């Protein structure tokens, strides 16, 4: 399956989560745990002019990360820190380039609102 076909088959929620992982990867903050991805996605959605996605829960993020891992877009990694807070929780990193994600996700997710 081509990368374009892969992105086209993703729900907007999955695309938001993937975009969150890509943004964090661009800032060299991966591997990252689900709660941090959720926080980033919520902040990002505040700046996007769409109500299609709604509120992202941690359960949504976990499901999306599993689907994105199955699609080969993210991969589970060992957390970068040895903090006891995150011990035992999976962490994820991007398995494709950041540019591929920015090119593949829906344009509406990349557009900043004019507020």
- Global pTM reads 0.81
Can you name the residues that pair with 7 across neighbouring β-strands?
A: none
Q: What is the pLDDT of residue 43?
A: 83
- Partners of 32 in the beta sheet? 92
- Mean pLDDT, rounded, of the chain: 81
SS3 75: strand
pLDDT at 115: 44
Residue with tokens 């993020």: 61
Instruction: Report the distance separating Cα 37 and Cα 32, nearest Å.
Output: 7
Question: Where does the pLDDT of residue 49 fall: very low under 50, low under 70, confident under 90, or very high at 90 and above?
Answer: low
Residue 81: is its pLDDT beyond 60?
no
Strand, helix or coil at 32? strand
Q: Domains, the chain, ranges and CATH? A: 3-109 (1.10.10.10)
Q: Average of pLDDT values for 56-71? A: 91
């Amino acid at each position: 399956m081509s990368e374009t076909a892969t992105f086209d088959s993703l729900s907007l929620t999955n695309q938001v989560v993937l975009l969150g992982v890509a943004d964090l990867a661009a800032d060299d903050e991966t591997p990252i745990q689900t709660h941090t991805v959720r926080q980033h996605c919520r902040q990002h959605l505040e700046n996007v002019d769409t109500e299609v996605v709604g509120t992202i829960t941690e359960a949504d993020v976990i499901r999306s990360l599993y689907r994105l891992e199955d699609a080969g877009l993210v991969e589970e990694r060992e957390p970068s820190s040895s903090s006891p807070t995150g011990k035992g929780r999976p962490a994820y990193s991007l398995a494709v380039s950041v540019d591929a994600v920015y090119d593949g996700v829906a344009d509406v997710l990349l557009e900043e609102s004019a507020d």
